[in-house]
């Protein structure tokens, strides 16, 4: 490299900025699927179909029946920091999955992206962007909703591509992401298909649930975690200091040898949070041996003001204003349910 007499500060162009941002949001195909499915949910979709090939490396296509994107808005949807979900005045009160306006431009920077969309009362249009270069908006055919297709993720960044794992491992990660979001949205139907090598296999399917939230969640957990979980799960419903805990936690007899079936959600968002996992563990401390792990799907809901979701670009980390209260709620809520189940079991034996 040439040595400069003094450093020159320059403004990076949009394409470079998008590529840098993409590095934070999009680690692997599963992160792209997460962003696209979240967009579909935010759009009010009732049916979401995800198609992948080769672990998502060559193809990711997400189809939804949500509100769609107007033709005039298509280029804007691909612009950085452009979002319909917040107006920037209230970052402490976020109720949608998205708000950063970064996913679509990032996807356009790392692969060949095509969006086709139709809003009610208008015709469908599509736009394509590849390597950060945008083509013009064209008429297309589609019913109301949106199809976003990403081909050849990371094709322009071979270093990144090399870090991906096998197709099988990437497909598994995609499945995990879809299942977590499916647990968070029991009233939406999800179908995940793998079209690698030309044939089409449905690898996950969860039909839309009906009824009240508890029934719907129970039905959804049955399709995601299996009948055994559903039959061994205790309903959880507890409140404390502005936090509401709901969900299902399995009896100690239905535990696992690894901490692989613990699903936590904060205000409907799947999260991986050490504090919450620690609280879950602590709740079962007296009823599980050290090498066993509880199975649970727990939802913490609170005023968005009480939790910051803007900690990390992927938003899988959260920060509570009062972590102690949340921890206390989880430990006491679960212990209470476990104790009640224990009493019921012993009284049945006595009968």
Concatenated DSSP letters for 49-88?
Answer: EEEEEGGGTSEEEEEE-S----GGGHHHHTSTT--SS--S
Interacting residues with Mg ion between 33 and 52 (CB under 5 A):
39
Residue showing tokens 């679509």? 104
Residue 279 in the binding site for Mg ion (CB under 5 A):
no
CA–CA distance, 115 with 63 (Å, rounded to integer): 10
Residue 28 in the binding site for ligand ADP (CB under 6 A):
no
Strand partners, 262: 296
Interacting residues with ligand ADP between 88 and 147 (CB under 6 A):
98-104, 146
Residue nearest to Mg ion (CB): 98
Site string for Mg ion, 55-94 (x = CB under 5 A): ----------------------------------------
Between 61 and 327, whose beta carbon lies closer to ligand ADP? 61
> Nearest distance from residue 11's CB to ligand ADP, in Å?
22
Would you mind telling me the total number of residues written for the chain in this entry?
351
Phi, psi at 95, each rounded to 5°: -115, -10
> Nearest distance from residue 39's CB to ligand ADP, in Å?
3
Residue 313 in the binding site for Mg ion (CB under 5 A):
no
CA quadruple 301, 304, 306, 308: dihedral sign: positive
> Nearest distance from residue 277's CB to ligand ADP, in Å?
27
Interacting residues with ligand ADP between 157 and 216 (CB under 6 A):
none
Binding part of the chain for Mg ion, among 99-107, 114-122, 128-136, 332-340 by CB under 5 A, reads 99-107
DSSP 304: G
In the list Mg ion, ligand ADP, none, the entry touching 84 (Cβ below 5 to 8 angstroms by class) is: ligand ADP
CA quadruple 286, 291, 297, 299: dihedral sign: positive
CA–CA distance, 216 with 230 (Å, rounded to integer): 12
Tokens of 187: 């009233």
In the list ligand ADP, Mg ion, none, the entry touching 64 (Cβ below 5 to 8 angstroms by class) is: ligand ADP
Helix ranges (DSSP H) in the chain? 14-25, 29-42, 74-77, 103-110, 158-163, 167-184, 213-225, 227-232, 274-283, 323-350
> Nearest distance from residue 190's CB to ligand ADP, in Å?
14
CA–CA distance, 214 with 308 (Å, rounded to integer): 26
- Reduced to 3 states (helix: H, G, I; strand: E, B; else coil), residue 340 is helix
**Is beta strand 201-206 parallel, antiparallel or unpaired with respect to 233-240?**
unpaired
Residue 37 in the binding site for ligand ADP (CB under 6 A):
no
CA–CA distance, 174 with 187 (Å, rounded to integer): 20
Residue 333 in the binding site for ligand ADP (CB under 6 A):
no
Candidate list 55, 56, 66, 98; residue touching Mg ion; CB under 5 A: 98
> Nearest distance from residue 72's CB to ligand ADP, in Å?
12
Candidate list 85, 151, 272, 335; residue touching ligand ADP; CB under 6 A: 85
- Please, what is the Cα angle at 53 between 71 and 221, to 5 degrees? 85
> Nearest distance from residue 265's CB to ligand ADP, in Å?
18
> Nearest distance from residue 109's CB to ligand ADP, in Å?
11
**Residues 307 and 320 sit within 8 Å (Cβ to Cβ):** yes
3-state helix, strand, coil in the chain (%, to 5): 35, 25, 40
Interacting residues with Mg ion between 150 and 209 (CB under 5 A):
none
In the list Mg ion, ligand ADP, none, the entry touching 183 (Cβ below 5 to 8 angstroms by class) is: none
Candidate list 21, 33, 67, 326; residue touching ligand ADP; CB under 6 A: 67
Residues that bind Mg ion (CB under 5 A): 39, 98, 103
- Residue numbers at the binding site for ligand ADP (CB under 6 A): 35, 39-40, 43, 64, 66-69, 77, 83-85, 98-104, 146
């Amino acid at each position: 490299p040439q040595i400069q007499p003094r450093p020159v500060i320059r403004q990076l162009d949009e394409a470079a900025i998008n590529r840098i941002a993409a590095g934070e949001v999009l680690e692997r195909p599963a992160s792209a699927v997460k962003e696209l499915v979240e967009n579909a949910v935010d759009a009010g979709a009732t049916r979401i179909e995800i198609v992948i090939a080769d672990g998502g490396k060559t193809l990711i296509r997400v189809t939804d029946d949500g509100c769609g994107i107007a033709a005039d808005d298509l280029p804007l949807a691909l612009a950085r920091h452009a979002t319909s979900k917040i107006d920037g005045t209230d970052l402490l009160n976020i109720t949608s999955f998205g708000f950063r306006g970064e996913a679509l431009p990032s996807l356009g920077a790392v692969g060949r992206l095509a969006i086709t969309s139709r809003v009610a009362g208008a015709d469908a249009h599509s736009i394509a962007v590849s390597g950060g270069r945008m083509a013009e908006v064209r008429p297309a055919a589609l019913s109301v909703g949106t199809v976003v297709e990403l081909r050849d993720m990371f094709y322009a960044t071979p270093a990144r591509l090399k870090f991906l794992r096998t197709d099988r491992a990437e497909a598994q990660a995609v499945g995990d992401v879809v299942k977590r979001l499916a647990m968070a949205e029991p009233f939406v139907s999800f179908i995940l298909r793998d079209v690698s090598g030309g044939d089409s296999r449905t690898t996950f399917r969860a039909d839309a649930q009906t009824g009240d939230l508890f029934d719907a969640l129970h039905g959804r957990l049955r399709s995601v975690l299996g009948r055994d979980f559903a039959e061994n799960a205790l309903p959880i419903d507890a409140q404390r200091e502005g936090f509401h805990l709901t969900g299902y936690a399995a009896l100690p007899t239905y535990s696992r040898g690894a901490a692989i079936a613990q699903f936590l959600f904060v205000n409907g968002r799947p999260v991986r949070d050490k504090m919450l996992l620690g609280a879950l563990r602590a709740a079962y401390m007296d009823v599980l041996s050290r090498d066993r792990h509880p199975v649970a799907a727990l939802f913490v809901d609170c005023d968005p003001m009480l939790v910051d979701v803007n900690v990390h670009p992927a938003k899988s980390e959260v920060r509570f204003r009062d972590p102690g209260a949340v921890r206390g709620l989880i430990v006491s809520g679960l212990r209470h349910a476990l104790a009640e189940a224990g009493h019921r079991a012993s009284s049945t034996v006595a009968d």
